Structure 1
Amino acid sequence: MDSEEELRTSIHRILETDKEEFKARLQQLESKYLEIEGTYDLHPQLEITDEDRMDLVWYTKKLMGHIKDTFASVATQMNTLKIMEKMFDNAIEAAKENEKN
């Protein structure tokens, strides 16, 4: 049973680590976005060309794409770990059943 608990602890540690890395990356992306957005707020008299606006739109779309990809990656990893945990539980149940027989 010790190895069962160790494996569960490892799975949860991986989930927590991924969650922390994800939060840090999301914070970086958010900071960069706020920095760009702040450019407009700090310099309202600044003449912004259509090209500048298009660049900002492009960068924002790219940023949102990175955020979306990050969410998808974390979701995939979490689903994989949940499946592994379920398989582990099934293997334990099967082993217990075999012991009884």
Structure 2
Amino acid sequence: MFTKSSFVLGLVIGTIASAISTFVWYHYLSRAVNSEGLYVSSGMGIRFLIAVMACLFWVRYPDIFDLLGIALGLMLTYVMIIVHGVNSLKK
């Protein structure tokens, strides 16, 4: 049922890419916290490439994956960060 919808398949691809991007961001953050150097990297280039690779699924198979679903899946991490920030402000 869910695999017949191109929006849901795009959402799955976007969510997987968003999760991988979050783990990359966390890796760079923990490395920066444990480092004593002045250079801090956030892994933006790698996270950008992950988003581009997710969008390449749509470029290659536009009838199977929906671009809006991929975009919403990629934004899922940022929505979770905003929700967590608002919840922590309420406390």
Normalising by the residue count of structure 2, what TM-score does the alignment of the two structures yield? 0.50
- Tell me which structure has the larger Cα radius of gyration: 1
Higher share of residues assigned helix: 1
